[in-house]
Every structure is written in C-alpha cells, then in structure tokens.
Amino acid sequence: MLSKKLEKVLNKQIEKEGYAAQLYLAMASWSEAQGYEGISNWFYEQHKEEVEHMLKFIKYMNERGSHATVPKIDQPPKDFAGVKKVFEASLEHEQMVTRSINEIVGISLEEKDFTTHNWIQWFVDEQLEEESSVQNILDKLNLIGDGNLYMFDRDIMSMRAEGEE
Ligand code: FEO
C-alpha cells in the first residue's frame, strides 16, 4: 500500500505530466501555425510521450492498491515569442519536472517504500534524456543565431534521442 504522503505526490505528478502533455500540444499547435512542420512534429511526439508518462503514474498507483485521481489541467499558453523561446520554455519545464521526480525519489526513501523507489528510477533516466535532448536543440539554435530556420525545421526530427519514438 502507498503511504498517504506518497499518494499525494504521485497524484500531483499525474497533474504535472498532464500539464506537460497540454503544454507540448500548445507548442506543437503554435509551431504548426507558424509553418514549422518539423518542429511541430517534434512537439506532437513530446505530447504523446507526456500522455504515456501520465498513464504510467496512474497505472502504477492503481497497481499498488491505490486509486489515482484524474486531475483538472490548467490551460497552457497559446502564443510563444519565437522558436528559441519555445524551446527555452520547454527546457525550463523539464527542469521543473526533474526536481519534482527527485522529490518523489526522496520521499520514497523517507517512507521506506523501496518498490516506488525502484519504479521511479525509469523517470530519473527519462528526465536526464529529456533535458539533454532539449539542451541539444537549444545548442543548435544558438549556433544558427538569427539564421535561416528552414534547415533546422527540416532536420529536427533526426535529433530525437535514440529510442524515442
Ligand atoms: Fe514527463 Fe517530460 O516529463
């Protein structure tokens, strides 16, 4: 059985993953509306991954004899101030999620819930991958500077980390 404290943070994490899914969907829609097909595909894929993350938390809680709460999710921003800004916002968001996952790791140890501690390690690895994937994109954007984004938009899907579908 999950402790009340873990139940609370895991439910909160469902909401955070759900918000990430909505945020990436908004970013995909914005990019598509701007004519960046590659970038929008990249964000649509991110959206799908975040939905998967949310489901993993729901299923894990239920598997542990709890009952996950399906949350109300805030509306993400509609507009972004440019391609670089959209990826900066994405990195900031992932850094926040990493802090949140680390907090769950800490609480699972405090509560001596080694099953959760073991299970959450997948997310620890995933966060490392997600942050580095967005950081790589930002590095490329910094190299391009104010240059033409056409090639970047064409090539971005090949920048997805190995194993990401
Ligand atoms: Fe599910 Fe990108 O954090």
**CATH code at 4-163:** 1.20.1260.10
pLDDT at 116 over 80: yes
Question: Which sequence spans correspond to the domains of the chain?
Answer: 4-163
Q: Answer for the pair 99, 124: CB distance below 8 angstroms, yes or no.
A: no
The pTM for the full model equals 0.93
How many Å lie between the centroid of ligand 1 and the Cα of residue 8?
18
Give the distance (Å) from ligand 1 centre to CA of residue 23.
Answer: 11
pLDDT of 164: 56
Classify the phi-psi angles of 23: left when phi > 0, otherwise alpha if psi is within -120 to 50, otherwise beta: alpha
Ligand 1 mean position to 25 CA, how many Å?
Answer: 13
Q: Nearest residue CA, atom 2 of ligand 1? A: 94
Non-local (6+) Cβ contacts of 53 within 8 A are 17, 20, 21, 123, 126
The Cα–Cα gap between 58 and 52 comes to 10
pLDDT tens, position by position, 132-143: 999 999 999 998
The pLDDT of residue 102 is above 80: yes
- What pLDDT score does 88 carry? 97
